[in-house]
Chain A
Amino acid sequence: MLRSLLPALSLVLVLLAIAWLNPRAISYFGFSLMLNLAIPIALATIAQMFVIAGNELDLSIGTFVGFVGCVTATWLKDAPLIGVLILLGSIGVYALLGALIHLRNLPSIVVTLGMSFVWQGLAILVLPKPGGKAPDWLLSLMAFKPPLVPFPIIAALLIAAVVHFGLMRTSYGVILRGSGGNAAALERAGWSLLRTKIVLFALAGLFGVLSGMALIGITTSADANIGNGYTLLSIAGVILGGGEFVGGRVSPIGAVLGALTLALAASPLLTFMHIPPDWQVAANGAILIIVLAARVLISRRER
């Protein structure tokens, strides 16, 4: 019980710490600012979660987000049709990777590590120097200011609700999670494991594309390295959100909460704590270790 509450609990803890250090941050404007980058992180975390649900790991999601960002800031603005085709095609590549990993029984870590260099190279080809510009509709979407509740919070709720319904409540979502839980049993019941793997990877590709677009909508221009940190952030987000590396145990709501926690802990909290920027990355890692250790301790006691 406590264990399923842990993702929410760690988010509340980080929020309390921020409120104590800087009460003014807890406001409409404060949240809009602090959670600015939470949407792309949440989307990338969801992408990673789909891959982890099938007992695989995607080490290329970061550079993929970067590649999508570069396409968004160039082709999607200048020639929308080609841009859309490229993005759809990249989702197709993800689906093919799933098929390749299943058919050839390859370790996904190796395949996606290789792909991360491919995406990085393509991103540099598309946009050799930082620049480009996000399409106007995307800019206005990400700048949307709803009344009362800041946009990032609404977006996070929406993402969590949609993915939770799709993966946790629909009947095919059960099959997708089952493929991570006991693939042999699924096959004996007549389900295609090739199909589940393709679907999981295609969903990862789809949410990777959404993440890259959201990111460019916020930053307004792109850089080939813009998403590099997302690979590890997304994995940490899934695990922080109660997911496990094997066994098909994942939680979309938890993953989004994990992403929000990471986004807040990443810089707002540390800035308020007056930790110099040089030390922020290390402090970030320390926070991750503490939260993950707490998770292990709690789940061990509940066993």
Chain B
Amino acid sequence: MAEANADIIRRDGAERHFGAASMDIIRLDGAEKHFGAVRALAGVDFHVAAGECVGLVGHNGAGKSTLMHMVAGTLMPDSGRIAVRGGIEEHYSVPRALELGIRCVFQELSLCPNLSVAENTRINHASLSGFGWRRRAAELIAAKLDEIFPDHSISADDIAGALSIGRRQMVEVARAFTVTQDPLELVILDEPTSSLDAHTAGQLLAFVRRFVASGKSCILISHLLGEVLGNADRIVVMRDGKIVASDAAKAFDRDRLVTAMGGAEAREKITAEIAKREAGPLRVRARPARQDDGKELVAHAGEIIGLAGLAGHGQTDLLLAIFAAASRAKTGIEVTAPVALVAGDRQSDGIFPQWSIVQNIGIRSLARLRNGLLISPQREAELATFWREKIGIRTPDMNNNIFSLSGGNQQKALFARALGSDAKIVLMDDPMRGVDIGTKLEVYDLVREEARNGRTFLWYTTETEELDNCDHIHVFKNGRIVANLRRDELTEEKIIQSSFGDAA
């Protein structure tokens, strides 16, 4: 920590200094950033006032993450200025940001999976040391979890890696709001609800409102426009590395936001398109392991089946059981066609990090790509090029490493892997978390098109809106199916009712 340097506060006109200090927690003027030839930020002016919740929206790759990395101190702008409470920061950095009370919950989960919840809390607090630090850390995080998620059932001794992805996100969010010696002024929440179900997401957003009401500030990044519209005081829209709109949240509605973000137009619900299809041959018949009544999941060719309910109530387990049953017979599960899985936790379960985009797409179809004993690079490239066009993967070269893609495009590559394979059944494990609305709409279209062509989709999702694409919805609770709804019967209330009902 270069404390001597960091403490230099150059006053830049006395009035401005004092005027700004009372209002702005952070202000960026003309921030620019290039990564090689790519311009990630083109001269952005951005500020957050005390007691304000700023919503930040834009497609993946619009520059939101880059901007937030600058606010959090993990990236320095190539040019432009950063001022915190009116004082220009010459040597802004992560330790300096933390000292000033600015924190960030990054989109990719940043807990250490080998450490306990309490130990992960310790990592963010240098002052949690010396005698009795374990007890203090445990109390600190437990109190904050109780405050934000009253019925969380997470113990401070739980090992982070053993928690479900939703619980990990809860811990991470709660940790960002714990206070020891450093002040807490501004928290950046980057897709904080992407792995949370509607219930816990509601708890978190209610907490954010309380936090802001107490005079602190928050930046909320979310692809769920309703979340931003309902909780932000002001909304900033980014496109192509620039801020294209910034206004009070009341001045926006869904359509105006989508238009400002550019790209896919807002769309009417597709409920009209119910047009009852003929049920094709049976593809999947599965009973969850813990199901004690006769309910089971049945999917025919051409159907899209939704798996709903609170996160972590057995949906993923059933998908994995079906996946396993495709290669090895399993009691209670009948699968009649090849299966592919689109993973939800794409970093740990989906992507081969060392491989190119082409290789990542081709891995599920190696049998078809073979030429004699070897994989034919030509056929591999053909497959990848076909899906690049069809699904719109944005990259200059499909032979680049998969990590050169933005998160949404990585997810598209995983879809291409599944859809490009011979699988007649596609299992989707909440694959759209943290993906921007433009990508989502494109993928929804594709899923429906593929279903019309006879493919079967089993789709677990934590976003109720996505269930509109499904023909049947099964609601899960405690590892069992508790309700089975047709799309025309589907309402958010019904799902919540079943998820919380005492049926079990």
The number of residue pairs between A and B whose CB atoms lie closer than 8 Å in the complex comes to 62
Q: Which of A175-228 contact B (CB under 8 A)?
A: 175, 177-178, 180-182, 184-191
Smallest beta-carbon distance A116→chain B, Å:
27
Tell me whether A171 and B98 are in contact in the complex, defined as CB-CB below 8 angstroms, given that A181-B114, A182-B111 are known contacts.
no
A171: nearest residue on chain B (CB-CB)? B129
Residues of A within 8 A of B114 (CB): 177-178, 180-181, 247-249
Smallest beta-carbon distance B346→chain A, Å:
17
Smallest beta-carbon distance A220→chain B, Å:
41
A183: nearest residue on chain B (CB-CB)? B112
Which one of B95, B119, B126 contacts A178 once the chains associate, using CB atoms below 8 Å?
B119
Residues of B within 8 A of A184 (CB): 110
Q: Does B81 contact A (CB under 8 A)?
A: no
Q: Does A169 contact B (CB under 8 A)?
A: yes
Q: Does B113 contact A (CB under 8 A)?
A: yes
Interface residues of B, count at CB 8 A: 26
Main secondary structure of the interface of A (DSSP, over half): helix
Interface pair A185/B112, CB less than 8 Å apart: yes
Q: Does A172 contact B (CB under 8 A)?
A: yes
Interface pair A177/B95, CB less than 8 Å apart: no
Interface pair A190/B126, CB less than 8 Å apart: yes
Interface pair A177/B115, CB less than 8 Å apart: yes
A212 to B373 CA separation, bound complex (whole angstroms): 51
Interface pair B128/A182, CB less than 8 Å apart: no
Q: Does A286 contact B (CB under 8 A)?
A: no
A190: nearest residue on chain B (CB-CB)? B95
Smallest beta-carbon distance B12→chain A, Å:
27
Residues of B within 8 A of A247 (CB): 113-114, 161
Interface pair A182/B110, CB less than 8 Å apart: yes
A36 to B342 CA separation, bound complex (whole angstroms): 55
30 contacts between A and B (CB under 8 A): A169-B134, A171-B130, A174-B123, A175-B123, A177-B112, A177-B114, A177-B115, A177-B119, A178-B112, A178-B120, A180-B114, A181-B112, A181-B113, A181-B114, A181-B115, A182-B110, A182-B111, A182-B112, A185-B110, A185-B123, A186-B123, A188-B74, A188-B110, A189-B94, A189-B123, A189-B124, A190-B1, A190-B126, A247-B114, A248-B112
- Residues in chain B within 8 A of chain A (CB atoms): 1, 72, 74, 94-95, 98, 104, 106, 110-115, 119-120, 122-124, 126, 128-130, 133-134, 161
- Residues in chain A within 8 A of chain B (CB atoms): 169, 171-172, 174-175, 177-178, 180-182, 184-191, 247-249
User: Which 8 interchain pairs have the tightest Cβ spacing?
Assistant: A181-B112, A185-B110, A171-B129, A181-B114, A190-B95, A182-B112, A178-B112, A248-B114
